[in-house]
Amino acid sequence: MMDARVKPAHDAVLDRTDGRVGRLYQDRHAGLDPAIHPLRKTPQQAPGWLYTSAACVRSRAAQQTARSSQRRRPARNSPRLPMRFTLTTWNINSVRLRIDLVAAFLKEQQPDVLCLQETKCPDDAFPLKRFKQLGYEHIALNGQKGYHGVAVISKIPFVARDIRIFCDNLDSRHISVSLGTGDNDPPLVLHNFYVPAGGDVADPELNPKFKHKLSFLDEMKACEPLHPSGDARHILVGDLNVAPHEHDVWSHKQLLKVVSHTPVECEKLLAVLRAGNWVDVARDRIPLSEKIYTWWSYRAADWTVGDRGRRLDHIWVSEALRTRVTDFKILRDARSWERPSDHVPVTVTMEL
């Protein structure tokens, strides 16, 4: 993390190349490891945070500072990850409405980290107390009232956290945390995304929401922090709102013109995957010929009839973690719970 205190004006830009892509507001007090520290979105609200723009490219001085910081070993009291590490991603479709479902899931499954999307909750109204009672005392939030929102809920303390802004929209679609791993290992960096759904019309000229989605995916591809290399241990999860492969949907032929499975969306998401040399855990462990779904529409009276699902929720890992994955599962039964989300939990287990 960067130690230098940078305090530009709200609309100032460091290292501007196109003035458009990838703003970052970064907690300069990462080493303090607060138990709960909701991230804010403007420099005025968070003096001393770094603001950058232009395709996630930082100034040369900032890059040098970041590289130097990354080379430093964590402090001796940096918390170690458990050897067996379990992470779940889940689009909960309103965390306050479904907090009882989340609590029941956490009591039974006990993941080390839970990443939520579509929390639909401002940070100051997030049900922190309920999570703390369950042993999840470390929470990073990026929420807003009524829409979108992402959160990372963890048993393990964070050593850093940040938020990135895509397409110049403050719409709460990303949060990232780093987990300390002891003296000798690089940190485990986790990105949690909620990619725009894109509306109903698969034409960027007619549908601004679809245009926004395509631009968001383009900016993800260009975002330098999403390009882990070497021994970097990174995980990218979330509702990416694209089912990229033929058997990620119930009918490839019928959905080719339906938002979430159009060729342009599929290619752009796979371009993000390739640009970062990511490993799609589901498809690394389950053949492309097998159908996999994580979402079923509310429009079906009985979601099990016809099994018309799509794989919209993803877990990607950097190449350094590929051989560390020991288990992957999709909790399909959660779609039948009382007042369920239309998405189900997706879980990965690794030996670190």
* In a domain? residue 264: yes
Instruction: Please report which confidence band the pLDDT of residue 311 belongs to, taking 50, 70 and 90 as the band edges.
Output: very high
What is the predicted pLDDT for the residue at 181?
Answer: 66
Alpha-helix runs per DSSP H in 120-256: 128-133, 208-222, 252-255
* In a domain? residue 5: no
Contact 238, 89 (CB under 8 A): yes
Residue 333's alpha-carbon distances to 15, 23, 53, 287, 292, in angstroms, are 48, 38, 42, 22, 14
Residue-wise pLDDT for 180-204, tens only, equals 866 677 889 999 999 999 999 999 9
The 10 Å CB-count burial string (b at 16+, else e) for 279-317 is bbbbbeebeeeebbbbbbeeeeeebeeeebbbbbbbbbb
**Residue 142 one-letter amino acid:** N
* In a domain? residue 15: no
Instruction: Enumerate helices (H) and strands (E) in the chain, giving the number of each.
Output: 7, 16
343 is an annotated ligand-binding site residue: yes
Residue-wise pLDDT for 332-343, tens only, equals 999 999 999 999
Q: Tell me if residue 261 is catalytic.
A: no
Residue-wise pLDDT for 312-330, tens only, equals 999 999 999 999 999 999 9
Residue-wise pLDDT for 226-256, tens only, equals 999 999 999 999 999 999 999 999 999 999 9
Contact 199, 211 (CB under 8 A): no
The conformation of residue 93, written as its DSSP 8-state character, comes to S
Contact 197, 259 (CB under 8 A): yes
Burial of 233 (0-12, 13-18, 19+ CB in 10 A): buried
What is the predicted pLDDT for the residue at 81?
Answer: 74
> Residue 129 in 3-state DSSP?
helix
> Residue 269 in 3-state DSSP?
helix
**Residue 255 one-letter amino acid:** L
- Of the listed 194, 234, 261, 280, which one is catalytic? 194
Strongest mean pLDDT among 18-22, 78-82, 160-164: 160-164
CATH of the domain at 278: 3.60.10.10
- Domain total in the chain: 1
241 is an annotated ligand-binding site residue: yes
Average pLDDT over residues 85-95: 98
184 is an annotated ligand-binding site residue: no
What is the predicted pLDDT for the residue at 258?
Answer: 98
* In a domain? residue 76: no
* In a domain? residue 163: yes
Q: Closest Cα partner for 195 from 139, 254, 259?
A: 259
**Cα 49 to Cα 40: distance, rounded to the nearest angstrom:** 10
Of 58-62, 144-148, 306-310, minimum mean pLDDT range: 58-62
Say whether pLDDT at 259 is over 70: yes
Q: Tell me if residue 194 is catalytic.
A: yes
**Which pTM does this prediction carry?**
0.81
What is the predicted pLDDT for the residue at 78?
Answer: 60
- Of the listed 33, 123, 239, 248, which one is catalytic? 239
Residue-wise pLDDT for 101-112, tens only, equals 999 999 999 999
- Of the listed 174, 212, 314, 343, which one is catalytic? 343
Mean pLDDT of the chain: 83
Q: Closest Cα partner for 92 from 309, 334, 273?
A: 334
Q: How many CB atoms lie within 10 A of CB 67?
A: 9
What is the predicted pLDDT for the residue at 77?
Answer: 55
> How, if at all, do strands 113-117 and 84-91 pair?
parallel
Q: In terms of residue numbers, what domain contains 204?
A: 84-351
Say whether pLDDT at 37 is over 50: no
Instruction: Please report which confidence band the pLDDT of residue 79 belongs to, taking 50, 70 and 90 as the band edges.
Output: low
Q: Tell me if residue 136 is catalytic.
A: no
Residue-wise pLDDT for 41-75, tens only, equals 433 333 323 323 333 433 333 434 443 344 344 44
* In a domain? residue 172: yes
Say whether pLDDT at 30 is over 50: no
Say whether pLDDT at 297 is over 70: yes
* In a domain? residue 27: no
327 is an annotated ligand-binding site residue: no
Instruction: Please report which confidence band the pLDDT of residue 307 belongs to, taking 50, 70 and 90 as the band edges.
Output: very high
Residue-wise pLDDT for 149-185, tens only, equals 999 999 999 989 999 999 999 999 999 999 986 667 7
Strands, E assignment, 206-292: 233-239, 279-280
118 is an annotated ligand-binding site residue: yes
What is the predicted pLDDT for the residue at 185?
Answer: 78
Say whether pLDDT at 18 is over 70: no
209 backbone dihedrals φ, ψ, rounded to 5°: -65, -40
* In a domain? residue 326: yes
